[in-house]
């Protein structure tokens, strides 16, 4: 009888250990995919940085977000790793995808390399010169570049800059630019910058020094929007969830409930920067039993 109990306990211990290992492996799967993506494309990012002046850290962080570390439909089937839309000057292949509006036109490339090359061209030689002033900013100042891209309108989300900074610091992507964490342009070098570049430097500190997302899109002041709650709500009773509605993002949900954005991503097993699908259940004060379904980019030729 004692032997049987011991054997049963041993079996239970083995089962628990196996489950623990599986949970650990599952939890690190996204991290493994991200690091694998960085290993695959870091040399291209560095080479392009040397040619174009776009920081390799910024290029890599943008690719991680826009391509969902190479797993998005747009990346897999159209080799588009930066979510760049067609625009009037695009003469290459195209695909239609639902993004901010239904059936938007996205660029399709022969290879991922072509996407990386076009991203440099897109930023450096944009027909409306949205990003010209960023090239005045030292490549090592990834924080200014990140906020500057958001301010120039690269993404419609008002949390884009912080997403880039988070990834660069978490995965030490600043090393791709031979830099260190938090490197900033020395004050003596700022006097020679254009007014637009100085504007980016001026909004940088507030935009990244708070857990609240500052709206730094063009024409916006660098203040937390009046409809964003800045006083923490009382501790949530039991398990609190939120059903995602049309046009809602992780950032807007975090602001609605005054929850730290990183904690909200962690609770729902989402890659930082991913956006939930409409109808998805977001866990506010507890861990989701499984990864929340994300917004899909569906396209057709």
* Same domain for 171 and 47: yes
Q: CB–CB of 276/233 below 8 Å?
A: no
Residue 25 lies in a domain: no
Nearest to 158 by CA among 217, 199, 210, 209: 217
Burial class for 283, CB neighbours closer than 10 Å (0-12, 13-18, 19+):
middle
Residue 236 lies in a domain: no
Please state the pTM of the whole predicted model.
0.68
| Torsion (CA) 5, 7, 8, 10 in degrees, nearest 10 | 120
Residue that finishes a domain, picked among 208, 226, 250: 208
Query: How far from 140 is each of 60, 132, 179, CA to CA, in Å?
Result: 14, 17, 6
- What does the pLDDT look like over 128-171, one tens digit per residue? 999 999 999 999 999 999 999 989 999 877 678 888 998 999 99
Q: What is the CATH number of the domain that holds 260?
A: 3.10.350
* Same domain for 78 and 184: yes
Residue 77 lies in a domain: yes
- What does the pLDDT look like over 174-215, one tens digit per residue? 999 999 998 988 988 898 899 999 999 887 544 443 333 344
Rounded-to-integer distance, Cα 16 and Cα 98, Å: 43
* Same domain for 134 and 279: no
- What does the pLDDT look like over 203-261, one tens digit per residue? 754 444 333 334 444 444 333 333 322 223 233 346 789 999 988 888 889 889 988 88
Residue 24 lies in a domain: no
Residue 276 lies in a domain: yes
Which residue, chain included where needed, has tokens 């884009």? Answer: 160
Residue 23 lies in a domain: no
Rounded-to-integer distance, Cα 183 and Cα 176, Å: 13
In total, how many domains does the chain have?
2
Nearest to 170 by CA among 265, 71, 284: 265
* Same domain for 166 and 268: no
Q: CB–CB of 207/214 below 8 Å?
A: yes
* Same domain for 199 and 74: yes
210-215 long-range contacts, CB within 8 A, separation 24+? 211/260, 211/261, 211/262, 212/255, 213/158, 213/159, 213/162, 213/251, 213/254, 213/255, 213/261, 214/158, 215/158
Q: CB–CB of 147/203 below 8 Å?
A: yes
Reading the block at residue 194, the tokens are 């254009």
Burial class for 301, CB neighbours closer than 10 Å (0-12, 13-18, 19+):
exposed
* Same domain for 186 and 85: yes
Query: How far from 278 is each of 67, 83, 243, CA to CA, in Å?
Result: 20, 20, 8
* Same domain for 263 and 157: no
Task: Provide the domain limits for residue 165.
Answer: 30-208
* Same domain for 195 and 69: yes
Confidence of residue 300 (pLDDT cuts 50, 70, 90): very low
* Same domain for 249 and 202: no
* Same domain for 166 and 66: yes
pLDDT at 5 over 50: no
**DSSP run (H or E) holding 138:** none
């Amino acid at each position: 009888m004692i032997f049987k109990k011991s054997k049963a306990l041993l079996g239970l211990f083995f089962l628990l250990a196996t489950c623990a290992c599986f949970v650990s492996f599952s939890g690190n799967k996204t991290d493994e995919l991200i690091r694998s993506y960085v290993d695959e494309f870091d040399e291209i990012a560095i080479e392009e940085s040397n040619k174009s002046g776009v920081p390799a850290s910024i290029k890599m962080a943008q690719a991680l977000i826009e391509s969902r570390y190479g797993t998005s439909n747009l990346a897999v089937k159209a080799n588009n790793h930066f979510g760049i839309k067609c625009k009037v000057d695009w003469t290459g292949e195209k695909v239609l995808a639902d993004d901010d509006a239904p059936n938007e036109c996205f660029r399709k490339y022969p290879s991922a390399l072509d996407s990386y090359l076009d991203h440099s061209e897109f930023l450096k030689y944009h027909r409306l010169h949205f990003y010209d002033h960023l090239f005045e900013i030292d490549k090592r100042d990834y924080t200014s570049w990140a906020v500057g891209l958001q301010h120039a309108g690269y993404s419609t989300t008002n949390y884009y800059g912080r997403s880039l900074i988070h990834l660069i610091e978490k995965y030490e992507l600043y090393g791709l630019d031979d830099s260190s964490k938090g490197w900033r342009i020395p004050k003596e070098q700022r006097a020679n910058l254009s007014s637009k570049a100085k504007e980016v430097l001026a909004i940088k500190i507030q935009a990244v020094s708070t857990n609240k997302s500052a709206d730094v899109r063009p024409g916006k002041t660098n203040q937390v929007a009046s409809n964003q709650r800045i006083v923490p709500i009382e501790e949530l009773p039991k398990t609190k969830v939120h059903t995602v509605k049309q046009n809602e993002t992780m950032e807007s949900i975090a602001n609605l409930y005054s929850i730290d954005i990183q904690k909200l991503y962690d609770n729902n097993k989402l890659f930082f920067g991913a956006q939930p699908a409409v109808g998805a259940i977001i866990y506010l004060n507890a861990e989701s039993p499984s990864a929340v379904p994300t917004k899909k980019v569906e396209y057709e030729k």
